[in-house]
Structures are given as structure tokens and as C-alpha cells.
Amino acid sequence: MKITIATDHAGLEIKDELKKRLEKSGVEVIDCGTYDKTSCDYPDYALKACEAVAEGKVDKGILVCMTGIGMSIAANKVKGIRGALVRDKETARLTREHNDSNVLIISGLFTPIDDAEEICNIWLNTAFSEEERHARRIKKIAQIEDKYFK
């Protein structure tokens, strides 16, 4: 599996530790930044990571910022991205099974690193259910994108 990971300055420690742990488990991680604590703008990093997902250069993406909210908003502006802000194991599973999310967003402030690692592992290893009702809803999301993302 090949993923992107990105953060702003507020999520740097979580991003760096997640990257290390994911690589140790055999995941190929493309680090889209940031690389230091200098104040920066999260949309720049969300865009870089999400474009790689949307263009099929990687399988999935993981984003971190202080609350996760800014990255969520920015990620979901990229056509084809279904980004989900997740703070627990159950929603990590459900967002893959029901929503086929392709970008996971984590709060660097509210998610301890061990929880973040568990969330990532569950999210990365859970498949989309393929149930008709969920596929139908994802198709409707794509139709909204087609209407508004020209």
C-alpha cells in the first residue's frame, strides 16, 4: 500500500510519528510536508496530498492539523476526495465500510499518538462494504461533484 501523509505545523509530531510507525508496518509513505514547526497554511499541504490521491498516484491519504477541521474542509474541495475527520476506532471502520473514504483526517491536538496509530491501522485495513445502499450514496456524492466541480 502506498499513501500520502501531510500536516501543518500544529500536527507535525503526530505526522512524523505516524509516518515512522506506518513505514515500520510495511506501508509506503509519501511525506507531503510540512517538515518543521514554522507556521504554515494547511490548505497547501492538504492540496498536495489529496491531488496525489485523486490522480491515483497513491492509494489513500492521511492528513493532520490541530483540530482536523481545516484539513477536512480543504481536502473535500478536491474532486474525488472523500475525506473523513476521525477521532475513534469505530468511525474509522465505518467511514471505510460506508463512505469509502480515501483520506483520513486526524486531530493533532485531540488524538493521542497510540490512538492515532490504531485509527490509521483500522482505516487502512477496512474495505468498502460494496453494499448497494452505500454505493448508491457515493454515486450521488460524485454527481454533486460533477455538478459543482467544473
Q: Which amino acid, one-letter code, is at 89?
A: K
Single out the catalytic residue among 32, 50, 65, 120. 65
Q: By C-alpha distance, which of 62, 53, 51, 66 is closest to 8? A: 66
* Angle between helical axes of 12-24 and 113-125 (0-180°, round to 10): 50
Using alpha carbons, select from 134, 50, 145 the residue that is nearest to residue 94. 134
Contacts of residue 29, defined as CB under 8 A and 6 or more positions apart, other chains included, come to 2, 3, 4, 5, 19, 22, 23
Active site residue 65: yes
Q: Is there a catalytic annotation at residue 9?
A: no
Please report which helix (H) or strand (E) contains residue 92, including its range. Answer: helix 89-97
Q: Which residues are catalytic?
A: 65, 98
